[in-house]
Structure formats: structure tokens, C-alpha cells
């Protein structure tokens, strides 16, 4: 009798335990909230249930799929389960494309559930609870990427009978499992045609589907050029995608299959394609459709005309805000706007003052360019950075701005006043000179649409050239000015407070980075002695800033101010006035250590010799101070696929370094309607006119151009 009563009590206890929800504690990792959730309230011995790793990602941030694409890392999880308990891998949710500049990544934003299976051992003790422990790792990205971790737990009670889905997460997990791409009644095959990977897929699910937004996500990296477009050919029973192959297909032994996820409309299917002839009904496989022309990659601007040149300049100015060299100033502008967010009239005047600074500086640059060309000099966009003295002065300016932001000394009452020593009582002069500084630091970058517009402008009358540069300034200043005139946006910003001082000091570090980058540029222009001279000047300037700060904190600091000003002047004179000589830039050698690509210095004679011999040629006009050029080097040119394409095509790589003044390179740029770098030309073996590549490169763009040049 007592044993029966004990059994009944144990069963009742187990039932009560099973009625309670699975216990899991959410963890805020910084830019997402992670937790383990379960579809059931409990689990029985030997039963398999589904749980999920839930990510609630902050707005504007994202994590990554199993194949992250061109950059990033997939989410991972490591389990510490009791003996006998088994946890399966992720059932990956359908990915989304995440374009980032010239890159294409795959991942998730918002809320995402990654389901997994959990199987209890057959001897799991009924009536007890079991805690599963896991360590999850995420790479969470916005404009920057931050690795974040979470130690997660999930507690399940063990009951005698099989548990049924119930509770808050039962339906979401069921929906997540239903959305996981699965194999369907599809037939897939691929083959290479003229260097293009053509993937053909047919089957009943595709017969009536809307194929307009089809895309293939490979399971493994290196299989395709993720950033390249995938033109679609529709067939009666399916479709064919023309895909740019990745470096894996350049290997002596290409892969024997191509597996991944095919997105067709809103549906996702898991497919595995084998090499072979396309299945019937996919599409007629011919040469791949021609890609739409890229206005930013036009060979020249001779036929633009003033209206189109102005339109290109406005677009180029807007895009210039996204270039990496402008990021430090964008941060300063945003902080300044926050300081006036709740003073709408002041914010508008700040926006107009900033616009004035931008326009005046762009027009001044245009005037200097026009005057230099009239005097017979071969100059172009960014010409001022070819002068080591200008680079040295800018490096000291960036250092002074950074020390001001760090609180070593104070200039002006507005964060926007850090661009100059002319901040007025209301900060409008500071806003004006922040516009000046923004244009100065934007000079190393060239955005799409800018090159043909500026190339056209510098071949026209001064009035037309000034109009195009003014349009460029309007486009560049437009986002900040529009925000200053948007009361609804300004009202959402927090009111000024102690947080602004923290933000101000944090913004110093991008400026320190800009100063360090300019030091590197000077080292290539002026050699070790020039670099040593600038470093000495930087130390003197730092001492001057410190002394000036001491004077500001004393009632009678006139003598210290005078000493600080004298030291600052000495630093500037010592860095700028000496004649910089030194060796030629280190990048003009027989091989590029960074890109690991063999190259020869560009010369018109060498180019003519190679073309006469029927040799394909890839010409890269670049400069150390050109940030766009350096990004392209790392993102597109420093890749094994490009090196292999150069070797397979027999092309010769010529590099024209414009870090220092070179009238030969300037003339070649002008011949192609360009006013600055980068400029990428591919000459084929037939002696045709060169193909001009886009200013923002991808590995696939370069490989395709080299393959076409060899054919």
C-alpha cells in the first residue's frame, strides 16, 4: 500500500514538473539577446524534441549564415551536455543578402531562430530536471564587427510520457523548422561556358514560380563570386543562373558537386548540382547576358554634357560620404548635430554654415586645379596629397584635432568647432571650417560617378568646371544639411549631457588613426628621413598642445599660451617647410608584398611593347594616399583567384604609382577622361580599346576581365 502511494506521489510530482516550462535565461551580449528555447515543456527518456538558439539582434546589426560570404563568421555553439544526451547541429534558417560596399555577405537581422534536435538517453531519470549548457559565439556587425559570446543554459524536466509541443515557443520553432530549406523535387546541373558557371535547375516547384528574384547561396565559401550579379534565364520548367565562379573552380581539380540553397521568389530549396548537361526545360544555355553598364566605370566623360555631368557629380558627392576616408569627419558632424538637436534654428544655421564650408572648399580646389592646368601642370583630383609638405601639414592637423577631442586643450564650445580655431560664440564658424576639413580629408577618396564627372569638367570652360565641382559639394553636404532641417529626426536625438563628453573623447581615436595613415603616406613619399622629421614635429606639437591646455586652466596663462603657440609654429615649420626628397615610393618595385602579385612599373613604352606582342595587360593606376585604391588592393587584387587568372591568361600587370607627381600618369588619366585615381584598364590580346573596370572592384570583376582579354 505504501509503495503504491509513493508511486502515485512520484507520478504526480513528475506531472507537475512536466507542466512547468523549460527554463532558460536570456543573455544580452551587447548587440543581441541570445537564449535557448524549447518546443516542449519536458522530455521523456529516449525522446527527441526540438530546441532553438534564438537571436534578437539590435536594429542595424546582423549575424551570419553557415557561409558568411565575402567576410564575417557564422554563428557557432559548443555543448556541455550530461552523458547520454545528444544535441544536433543547427538547422540553418534561410539567409538574406547583406551587401557591404563591394562585398556580399549572407546572414540574419532582427529575430532569428536556429533549431536543433535534443535526444534524451533511454535511462534518463524520470522526475528529475536536466540542465544543458552551451557556449555560443557570434560575430555581430554593423559598419564594424564585434565578436560576442554567451554562456547559455536550458533546463528540461524528465517525465514518463512523451512530451507534446506546448508553450510560448512551440509554434515559432515549428515555423522555423518549416522554413529551413529542404531538398525538393528538383534536378540541378552545372557546366562552365566561356568562364561562366551556369547553374540549371528544373522541377515542378519552379514551373509556375516567379523567378525574377532567384539567387543561389552556396554552402561553402570560394565556390562563387558572392558579390557578382547572377543573371537569370527562365525556362518552361525551371531556370538557369549565370554565376561568376570562385577560386575553387580555378584549381586543377574543380569540385565534383555544387551544393547550396536556391531562392526562387519567397521559397528556398536545398539543391546539389552535378556537372553535366542542363536538364530539359531549364533555359537555352548560350553566352551569359551582358551586364548593365556601370556609369561610374565609364571610360571617359567626353560625351556627358553639363546636365549629366552635374547629375553624376551630385550622386558622386552623396556616395563620397560612404568612403572610409570621410568616416572620422562624419562622426564629428553627427556629434555636432546631436549637440543642437533640440535647438532647431541653431541646427539649421549649423547646416547652412557646414554647406558653405563644403562649397567654398570644393570651389577653391576647382580653382586651384584649373589654374594649375592653365599653367601647364598635369594635375587631377587629390593632387594636393602628392605634396609631402601638404601631407605633413594634414597629419599634424589630424593630430591636433585628436588631442583637442581628447581634452588636452580646448578650442571652441562646439564639437563642430574642432575643425579649426575659428569657432565663434554660436559655433557657426566652427561648422564652416568643419565643412572645410571634411572636404580636405575626402580628397584621398574617389566615389562612383565622380570620375567621369570630374574628367569631363576639367576639359571644359572654367564656368562649367566650377558648376560641376559645386554640384559635387552639394551632393557631399546634402545628408548633413537635410538632417539639420528635419525636426522629426532631430527630436529623436538625446538631449546634450555628460554623454557628449564621453562621445567627444571617443571620436579622437579615428582622428589618431587618420594621422597615423598620413604618416605612412609620407614615409612612401619622403623616405625614412622625412618620416623622422614629421615624427619629431608631432612630438613638439603634442608638447605645445599640453602647454596650451595648462594655460587654459590657469587664470594668468598668457606666457604659457605664447610658448605653446611658438612650439606649434615650430612644429608646423619643421614639418612643412623643408624640401622633401628621399627615395621613390617603396611600392614601385618588382613585386607588391601586400598584394602578392608580380608587377612591373607602368610606362607608355612598356605598354606599347606588350600590346605589339599581343600580350594581355592589366594596368592599375593607384596612389598610397588613395583610400579607395588601398581598399581595392585588399578586397579584390590581393586574392589567389586574381593571381591565378593573371597566370592563366598570360597577362602582364603594370602598376602606375601616382603617390608623387608624375606627368606621364596624369596625361594617361586625362586621355581616359579621368581626373584622379583609381583607374583600372584591361587590354586584350587583339589590340582593342581597353576595358575600363569599375572604381570599386571585386575579385570576380578582375578575373572575368582577364579571362575575356585572353580569349
The 10s digit of each residue's pLDDT in 647-679 is 889 999 999 988 777 778 877 887 777 777 888
pLDDT in tens, 422-480: 333 345 677 787 788 777 767 666 666 776 777 677 667 788 888 888 888 898 888 87
CA dihedral 177, 179, 180, 181 (to 10 degrees): 150
The owner of cell 570599386 is: 696
Q: Which of 265-274, 344-353, 478-487, 629-638 has the highest mean pLDDT?
A: 265-274
Q: Which residues contact 176 (CB under 8 A, 6 or more apart)?
A: 52, 91, 93, 113, 114, 115
Tell me, letter by letter, the H, E, C secondary structure of 481-517. HHHHCCHHHHHHCCCCCHHHHHHHHHCHHHHHHHHHH
List of residues 6+ apart from 566 with CB closer than 8 A: 544
pLDDT the model gives residue 584: 41
Scan for cell 585588399, then name that residue.
Answer: 634
Lowest mean pLDDT segment, chosen from 268-272, 506-510, 615-619: 506-510
Average pLDDT over residues 565-572: 67
Closest CA to 450 of 694, 169, 133, 615: 694
Quote the radius of gyration of the chain (alpha carbons, Å). 31
pLDDT exceeds cutoff 90 at 172 = yes
Task: Answer yes or no: are the C-beta atoms of 526 and 582 closer than 8 Å.
Answer: yes
Q: Where are the domains of the chain?
A: 16-177, 183-275, 306-576, 595-710
pLDDT of residue 215: 94
Arithmetic mean of pLDDT, 165-184: 93
- What is the fold, at CATH topology level, of the domain defined by 595-710? Glutaredoxin (3.40.30)
Q: Is the dihedral of CA 391, 397, 400, 404 positive or negative?
A: negative
Residue 560, phi then psi, degrees to nearest 5: -65, -40
The span from the CA of 442 to the CA of 440, in Å, is 5
Confidence of residue 418 (pLDDT cuts 50, 70, 90): very low
Q: What is the percent of the chain where pLDDT is above 90? A: 27
DSSP state of 92: P
Give percent of the chain above pLDDT 70: 76
Between 474 and 7, residue with greater pLDDT = 474
Contacting residues for 10 by C-beta, under 8 A, at least 6 apart: 126, 127
| Residue 125 scores a pLDDT above 80 | yes
Beta-sheet strands, E only, within 230-277: 232-234, 238-243, 258-264, 267-275
pLDDT of residue 384: 62
| pLDDT over threshold 70, residue 11 | no
Of 2.40.37.10, 2.60.40.10, 3.75.10.10, 3.10.20.440, the CATH number of 16-177 is 2.60.40.10
Are the beta carbons of 129 and 122 closer than 8 angstroms? Answer: no
Peptide bond into 265 cis (omega under 30): no
Residue 242 has pLDDT above 80, yes or no: yes
| Mean pLDDT along residues 567-596 | 50
Cell of 656: 602606375
Winning range, highest mean pLDDT, from 9-13, 308-312, 506-510 = 308-312
**Three-class secondary structure of residue 624 per DSSP:** coil
Computed over every residue of the chain, the mean pLDDT equals 78
Distance between CA 36 and CA 578 in Å, rounded? Answer: 65
Identify the pLDDT of residue 7: 41
Mean pLDDT of 135-147: 89
pTM: 0.43
438: helix, coil or strand?
Answer: helix
Q: How confident is the model at residue 112 (pLDDT cuts 50, 70, 90)?
A: very high
Q: How far apart are CA 356 and CA 461, in angstroms?
A: 23
| H/E element, 137 | strand 129-141
pLDDT at 459: 64
For the chain, report the end-to-end CA distance as a whole number of angstroms.
Answer: 92
Third-level CATH fold of 183-275? Immunoglobulin-like (2.60.40)
pLDDT at 298 over 80: no
Binning the chain into helix, strand and coil, the percentages to the nearest 5 are 45, 25, 35
What pLDDT score does 47 carry?
95
State residue 339's pLDDT score.
Answer: 58
Picking from 10-19, 67-76, 300-309, 568-577, which range would have the lowest pLDDT averaged per residue?
Answer: 10-19
Is 592's pLDDT higher than 60? no
Q: Among the listed ranges 130-139, 378-387, 584-593, 610-619, which one has the minimum average pLDDT value? A: 584-593
State the CB neighbour count (10 A cutoff) for residue 489: 13
The mean pLDDT value for 573-579 works out to 57
Q: How sure is the predictor about 292, in pLDDT bands with cuts at 50, 70 and 90?
A: very low
Query: H/E element holding 218?
Result: strand 215-218
Domains 16-177 and 183-275 in one fold: yes
Query: Residue 710 pLDDT > 80, yes or no?
Result: yes
pLDDT computed for residue 571 by the predictor: 63
Q: Please state whether 270 falls in left (phi above 0), alpha (psi between -120 and 50) or beta.
A: beta
Q: Tell the residue number behind the cell numbers 540542465, with chain if given.
A: 131
Confidence of residue 393 (pLDDT cuts 50, 70, 90): confident
DSSP character at residue 94: P
Closest CA to 454 of 510, 380, 348, 516: 380
Residue 360 and residue 477: Cα distance in Å, rounded?
12
Rounded CA-CA distance 249/134 in Å is: 37
Q: Cα 683 to chain center, whole Å?
A: 29
Q: Output the pLDDT for position 335.
A: 60
More confident residue, 456 or 310: 310
Amino acid at each position: 500500500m505504501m509503495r503504491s502511494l509513493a508511486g502515485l506521489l512520484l507520478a504526480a510530482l513528475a506531472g507537475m514538473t512536466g507542466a512547468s516550462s523549460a527554463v532558460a535565461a536570456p543573455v544580452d551580449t551587447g548587440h543581441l539577446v541570445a537564449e535557448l528555447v524549447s518546443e516542449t515543456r519536458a522530455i521523456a527518456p529516449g525522446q527527441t524534441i526540438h530546441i532553438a538558439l534564438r537571436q534578437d539582434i539590435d536594429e542595424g546589426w546582423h549575424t551570419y549564415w553557415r557561409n558568411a560570404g565575402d567576410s564575417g563568421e557564422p554563428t557557432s555553439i559548443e555543448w556541455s551536455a550530461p552523458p547520454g544526451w545528444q544535441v544536433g547541429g543547427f538547422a540553418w534558417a534561410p539567409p538574406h543578402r547583406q551587401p557591404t560596399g563591394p562585398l556580399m555577405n549572407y546572414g540574419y537581422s532582427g529575430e532569428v531562430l536556429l533549431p536543433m534536435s535534443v535526444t534524451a538517453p533511454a535511462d534518463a531519470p524520470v522526475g528529475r530536471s536536466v540542465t544543458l549548457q552551451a557556449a555560443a559565439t557570434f560575430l555581430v556587425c554593423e559598419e564594424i564587427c564585434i565578436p560576442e559570446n554567451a554562456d547559455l543554459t536550458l533546463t528540461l524536466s524528465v517525465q514518463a510520457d512523451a512530451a507534446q509541443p506546448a508553450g510560448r515557443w512551440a509554434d515559432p520553432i515549428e515555423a522555423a523548422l518549416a522554413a529551413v530549406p529542404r531538398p525538393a523535387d528538383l534536378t540541378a546541373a552545372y557546366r562552365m561556358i566561356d568562364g561562366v558557371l551556369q547553374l540549371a535547375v528544373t522541377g515542378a516547384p519552379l514551373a509556375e514560380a516567379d523567378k525574377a528574384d532567384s539567387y543561389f547561396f552556396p554552402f561553402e565559401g570560394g565556390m562563387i563570386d558572392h558579390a557578382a550579379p547572377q543573371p537569370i534565364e527562365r525556362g518552361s520548367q525551371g531556370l538557369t543562373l549565370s554565376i561568376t565562379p570562385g577560386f575553387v573552380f580555378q584549381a586543377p581539380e574543380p569540385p565534383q558537386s555544387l551544393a547550396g540553397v536556391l531562392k526562387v521568389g519567397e521559397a528556398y530549396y536545398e539543391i546539389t548540382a552535378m556537372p553535366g548537361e542542363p536538364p530539359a526545360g531549364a533555359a537555352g544555355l548560350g553566352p551569359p547576358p551582358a551586364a548593365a553598364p556601370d556609369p561610374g566605370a565609364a571610360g571617359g566623360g567626353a560625351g556627358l554634357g553639363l546636365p549629366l555631368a552635374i547629375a553624376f557629380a551630385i550622386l558622386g558627392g552623396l556616395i563620397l560620404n560612404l568612403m572610409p576616408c570621410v568616416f572620422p569627419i562624419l562622426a564629428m558632424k553627427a556629434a555636432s548635430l546631436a549637440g543642437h538637436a533640440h535647438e532647431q534654428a541653431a541646427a539649421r544655421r549649423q547646416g547652412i554654415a557646414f554647406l558653405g564650408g563644403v562649397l567654398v572648399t570644393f570651389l577653391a580646389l576647382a580653382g586651384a586645379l584649373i589654374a594649375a592646368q592653365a599653367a601647364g601642370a598635369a594635375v587631377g583630383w587629390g593632387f594636393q596629397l602628392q605634396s609631402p609638405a601638404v601631407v605633413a601639414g594634414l597629419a599634424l592637423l589630424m593630430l591636433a584635432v585628436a588631442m583637442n577631442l581628447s581634452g588636452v586643450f580646448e578650442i571652441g564650445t562646439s564639437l563642430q568647432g574642432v575643425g579649426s580655431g575659428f569657432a565663434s560664440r554660436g559655433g557657426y564658424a566652427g561648422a564652416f571650417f568643419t565643412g572645410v576639413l571634411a572636404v580636405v580629408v575626402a580628397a584621398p577618396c574617389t566615389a562612383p560617378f565622380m570620375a567621369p564627372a570630374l574628367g569631363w569638367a576639367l576639359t571644359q570652360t572654367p564656368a562649367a568646371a566650377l558648376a560641376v565641382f559645386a554640384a559635387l559639394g552639394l551632393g557631399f553636404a546634402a545628408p548633413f544639411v537635410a538632417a539639420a532641417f528635419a525636426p522629426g529626426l532631430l527630436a529623436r536625438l538625446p538631449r546634450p549631457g555628460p554623454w557628449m563628453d564621453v562621445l567627444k573623447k571617443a571620436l579622437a581615436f579615428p582622428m589618431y588613426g587618420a594621422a597615423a595613415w598620413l604618416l605612412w603616406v609620407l614615409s612612401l613619399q619622403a623616405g625614412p628621413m622625412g618620416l623622422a622629421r614629421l615624427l619629431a614635429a608631432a612630438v613638439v606639437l603634442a608638447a605645445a598642445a599640453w602647454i596650451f591646455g595648462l594655460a587654459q586652466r590657469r587664470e594668468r596663462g598668457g606666457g604659457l599660451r605664447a610658448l605653446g603657440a611658438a612650439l606649434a609654429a615650430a612644429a608646423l615649420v619643421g614639418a612643412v617647410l623643408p624640401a622633401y626628397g628621399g627615395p621613390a615610393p617603396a611600392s614601385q618595385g618588382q613585386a607588391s608584398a601586400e598584394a602578392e602579385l608580380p608587377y612591373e612599373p607602368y610606362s607608355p613604352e612598356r605598354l606599347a611593347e606588350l600590346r605589339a606582342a599581343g600580350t594581355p595587360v592589366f594596368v592599375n593606376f593607384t596612389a598610397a594616399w588613395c583610400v579607395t585604391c588601398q581598399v581595392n588592393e585588399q578586397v579584390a587584387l590581393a586574392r589567389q583567384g586574381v593571381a591565378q587568372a593573371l597566370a592563366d591568361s598570360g597577362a602582364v600587370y603594370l602598376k602606375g604609382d601616382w603617390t608623387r607627381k608624375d606627368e606621364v600618369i596624369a596625361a594617361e588619366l586625362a586621355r581616359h577622361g579621368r581626373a584622379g585615381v583609381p583607374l583600372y584598364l584591361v587590354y586584350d590580346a587583339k589590340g582593342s580599346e581597353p576595358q575600363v573596370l569599375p572604381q570599386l572592384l571585386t575579385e570576380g570583376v578582375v578575373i572575368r576581365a582577364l579571362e575575356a582579354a585572353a580569349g
